[in-house]
Structure formats: C-alpha cells, structure tokens
Structure 1
Amino acid sequence: MTRPPKCRAVESMPGVTYYKPAGIPLRLIEELVLPVEGLEALRLKDLEGLDQAECAAKMGISRATFQRVLAKARKTVAEALTTGKAIKIEGGVFFLTDSQSI
C-alpha cells in the first residue's frame, strides 16, 4: 500500500482555469489537466524565480517532491503547447494559504 500524498500549500486559486489554442473549436481539442499544485510550482520557480529549496519550503513539501511536481507540470504545459491541446487547471492535493487569485 502506498503512502497518501502530503497536502501542498498553495498561495491562492488561479483566476483563469482553462487555456486552449485559438481558432480551434473546443469539441475538437484534447485537454490535459494541470493540478493546482503544479501551477503553484511553476509560479514559484519560473515566475517568482525562487530556488528549489525555497519553493519546497513555501509549499510545505520536500525538495524531491517539489522537483517531481514541477517536472510533471512542465511536461504537461510543454505537451499542450507543442501538440495544440488545451490545459485545464483543477484538482490535486493542496490547501490554500491565502484567498487572493494568482
């Protein structure tokens, strides 16, 4: 039996939760799911420019776990951008630390 995932701290919920390529009807697009904690990992590392240890501390997880969350989020975004798929931000194992939008 595997250990249940630890809740990850997320500063706030995103204001926009769906992205799709322009000019293609939604019914024709495959969508990928980006968990909320994946978006938070991208925000902390790539937008805020924090190092991995700082990001992990802010999310309340180990550096190794942070690296796995970040790698999966980057792969999801890269796949969506290169193959013309939509990104739906939802779900995950997290708790909110603030009530503002990203």
Structure 2
Amino acid sequence: MFGYYCRQQTPLLLAATVGATPNSLDILQMFINADPEYPVDAADCNGNTLFLLAYMNGNAELCKSALRCGVCLAVTNNYGISVFSYETPTKQLLFSLLGELFNTFYR
C-alpha cells in the first residue's frame, strides 16, 4: 500500500529519527490502522528498522509500541549496531524494553 522513499526510508523510519515526539506514535498507529499487515519491521538500505532508529533516538514510547506490533528486538543493522551494542548514557531504556517484553509474554 505505501511505497518506499529514497534510500528505502518509509515515513515510519523517518518519524523514528526525530526522537521522542507524539507524532511518531500517531504515524505508527495510522499505518497499522490503514494496513494491519504493513511491514513495520522493514529496514532501510543501512539495515536500520523502526525499532532500532527509535531506540537510537531515545523514543521509548515508539519502541514500546513497535514491540507490541511484533518487531524484532535483536535486529542488527549493516554496521553491526543493535540495541545491545549501541552506546547510550545508561541502559535504562533497554532494561525497560526487556521488562515490557517479559510482561507481555509471562503475565
């Protein structure tokens, strides 16, 4: 339904690069509502996914929403970067996301 833009970046991937904004959640919800089978886990030409870009930009709410859509937490981009190897000031976001996953599957 929705096409890819230059460098295989979808509006979802672009929204994930902006950091924590309410609009990014709205954009994700719009895509899911329009097409429940939309490939939320699609990667750009560098192997970056919505989840990885949101994580790298500190957008915790978009990360959590993406996980609820079933994206892969352990994706690694073409440069070997994943949520487990990406340098952040603290690992609090990662631990929060892992806790969310645990609660999703074991509650």
| TM-score, length basis structure 2 | 0.29
**When you count strand as a share of all residues, which structure comes out higher?**
1
Which of structures 1 and 2 has the larger relative contact order (alpha carbons within 8 angstroms, sep 6+)?
1
**Structure with the higher helix share, 1 or 2:** 2
Larger radius of gyration: 1
TM-score, with length taken from structure 1: 0.30
